Amino acid sequence: MKNIILHIFILLFTFFRGVGQKPQLQYVGDDHTCNTNFHDGQMLPSIGTHNFQILRANRSYPNLADDLGWTYNHAPNLAYWNGFFWCQYLSTPMGEHSEPGISLITKSKDGILWEKPKIIFPIYFYYEKAQKYVEVKNTIMHQRMAFYVAPNGRLLVFGHYGGNDGDGIGRVVREVKNDFNFGPIYFIRVNDDWKGNVAYPLYKDSSDQEFVKACNDFLGDPVRRIQWWEEDFLAHDAQSFYLPYERQKAFSFYSISDSLKIGLFKSRMTIITMDGGTRWSEPSPSASFKYGGAKIWGQKLDNNQYALVYNPTDNKNRHPLGVAISDDGLNFNNLSLVHGEVPVKRYWGIEKRPGPQYVRGISEGNGNPPGNDLWVVYSVSKEDIWVSKIPVPISRLQNGKIEDNFNEASSMDIIKGWNIYRPKWCPVSIRKISTKNDKSLCLKDFDPLDYAKALRVLEKQIKNTISFDLFLETMNAPFFVDLNNSLGQALIRFSVNKKNEITIEGLSGNKNKKIFLKRKQWYPIKIKYDAKNASYDITIKNLMEKKDLCFLSEGIPQRIEFRTGFYRLNRKIQEYKSGDQRVVGWDEKGAEQPVEPTEVCIDNFKTHQ
């Protein structure tokens, strides 16, 4: 049946093309933008999504990061090859287009724990004559793609020395070995107008004929090589080697069939091919999609749906990161949240725009990890590198009761059904607690400027009872429990401070008398709410019972979150730390070393209706 529908669709496409029309990529829902006054856009979460930090930049203690100490890290790419995830990204000492620039690469067995990055393309030096000495210069790197798994199984990594204005040095290539070592660097395409020194040999000079064949296979691919167009648009053969149109930026694509493919660019521009990529329609805007100046990623999922991942804004903001889904690859709907956290930028730098941005997934042919999940990489504020695991099918609504005791978890790091925000210094995992034999969900935080968060989407119920057990291991920062409405606004909030004192927000005076919890002891907690009356009861067994308390705002509970820090999603985000790109900013103090940890555990989480 699917083949019949696809055949009809192709016939219709051919007809429309003949009369000068083409199918339109469009967002058909009403929620095509988000509220960027909040970091998460007040969007519904994509259930079960896990955010993992790959790299936390650190200038003064580079051994805690990449052994380099550079604080501009951006534009990551992703592949899965020979049982490992591979991530490549750009780096400069402090800001965008600030020389020198390099590219680094890291790998991971599970997508969660990543090895220390290695330099894959080093600083490129070139020389110009000066009055007394030879003047030594260097350049940045700028590329929109990195990986290519060739038909012969070789993994190639590409980079581009120079910017995206068409006058760079050229494209380089290197083979990655399975043992995390690399082959020699070669140029695969030198800029036609480059007059300086060419520091590496051409790929055809390699004695490894399988490597040469892998390079030729890429050069002969009319679809994938469009990813080079942006930096190489002034090449003498650009109109035949790439596309005969005005240059566009940051190409990605996905296939609806072998012949029908959709191409995506920045600035909402799209192209379509019906012959597998030999001829493409002229780039045109997709007006119903709203996103700022950052990249968009499209991918066919393992369940035969399609996903677009982007910043769904109607302004230049690059937060939050969301995902939309489609059954046919053209009509998208049901936006949900992938990454909605924007911590304070720790380092100043030129054009370090805040937010999760420049998203990339695994291109067709570049591997498929175990499971049905959608994996995407991106930078946060052009400072840190992150990866997200999004369960497929992608959903934003919970149906039915929840009963989580974590004993059946097959992984200590993947918590099924939960949304996890996990910076490097804020691990969230399942582990055994010394006071009992079964497993618990634990949040640990030793980051001075970030926090750990675990969120569970709930079924929308006017009345319900939620219960869980709480365990305080160590307390050096406040811990919060929020029961939120569909917009993420807290209806109920209570916290525990580093003195173990519990506080219920919205109460004052005698109603909120001091109550202290003991560390290394389990406390059963029960919250019974009635959204119609905007009221709730809260009980901590053998310690506290309060009834008929009032909601903090309007709505029906639809998620609960456990967090090792103050709520910050309404914090005003400045594009530049100084407030002006022309004014030097500053680095945050006390951001480069771990602090004393806070660790809290949750168990036996239940909803009773």
Per-residue model confidence (pLDDT) at position 513: 78
Which has the higher per-residue pLDDT, 541 or 161? 161
The whole-model pTM stands at 0.95
At 470, the pLDDT band (50, 70, 90 cuts) reads very high
> Residue 371 and residue 558: Cα distance in Å, rounded?
27
DSSP state letters, 140-187 = -B--S--EEE-TTS-EEEEEEES-SSS-S-EEEEEEEPTTS-B---EE
pLDDT at 145 over 60: yes
Residue 366, burial from CB neighbour count under 10 angstroms (0-12, 13-18, 19+):
buried
Mean pLDDT of the chain: 93
Ordered structural domains, the chain, with CATH: 2-390 (2.120.10.10), 403-607 (2.60.120.560)
pLDDT at 573 over 90: no
pLDDT at 548 over 90: yes
**What is the DSSP pairing of strand 269-273 with strand 598-607?**
unpaired
pLDDT at 5 over 70: no
pLDDT at 169 over 50: yes
> Lowest-pLDDT range, 250-254, 338-342, 434-438, 542-546?
434-438
Per-residue model confidence (pLDDT) at position 609: 81
Q: pLDDT for 11-65, tens place per residue?
A: 444 434 443 466 789 999 988 888 999 999 999 999 999 999 999 999 999 999 9
Per-residue model confidence (pLDDT) at position 6: 46
Per-residue model confidence (pLDDT) at position 21: 60
> Residue 535 and residue 523: Cα distance in Å, rounded?
23
pLDDT at 4 over 60: no
> Residue 575 and residue 572: Cα distance in Å, rounded?
10
Q: pLDDT for 265-276, tens place per residue?
A: 999 999 999 999
DSSP letter at 512? G
Element (H or E) spanning 12, and its range? helix 2-18
DSSP, collapsed to helix, strand or coil, labels residue 467 as: strand
Residue 296: closest CA among 327, 318, 281? 318
Q: Which range has the top average pLDDT, 5-9, 11-15, 113-117, 429-433?
A: 113-117
Span 103-124, average pLDDT: 98
pLDDT at 577 over 80: no
Q: pLDDT for 172-218, tens place per residue?
A: 999 999 899 999 999 999 999 999 999 999 999 999 999 999 999 99
Percent of the chain surpassing pLDDT 90: 85
Per-residue model confidence (pLDDT) at position 514: 86
Q: pLDDT for 60-105, tens place per residue?
A: 999 999 999 999 999 999 999 999 999 999 999 999 999 999 999 9
Beta-ladder partners of 420: 50, 454
Q: Are 191 and 172 in contact (CB under 8 A)?
A: no
- The CA angle 403-404-408, to the nearest 5 degrees, is 120
> Residue 562 and residue 597: Cα distance in Å, rounded?
16
Residue 433, burial from CB neighbour count under 10 angstroms (0-12, 13-18, 19+):
middle
> Residue 1 and residue 475: Cα distance in Å, rounded?
58
State the distance between the two ends of the chain, measured CA to CA, in whole angstroms.
39
Q: Are 520 and 500 in contact (CB under 8 A)?
A: no
Q: pLDDT for 408-462, tens place per residue?
A: 888 899 999 999 999 999 999 999 987 777 899 999 999 999 999 999 999 999 9
> Residue 108 and residue 105: Cα distance in Å, rounded?
11
Number of H helices, E strands in the chain: 3, 38
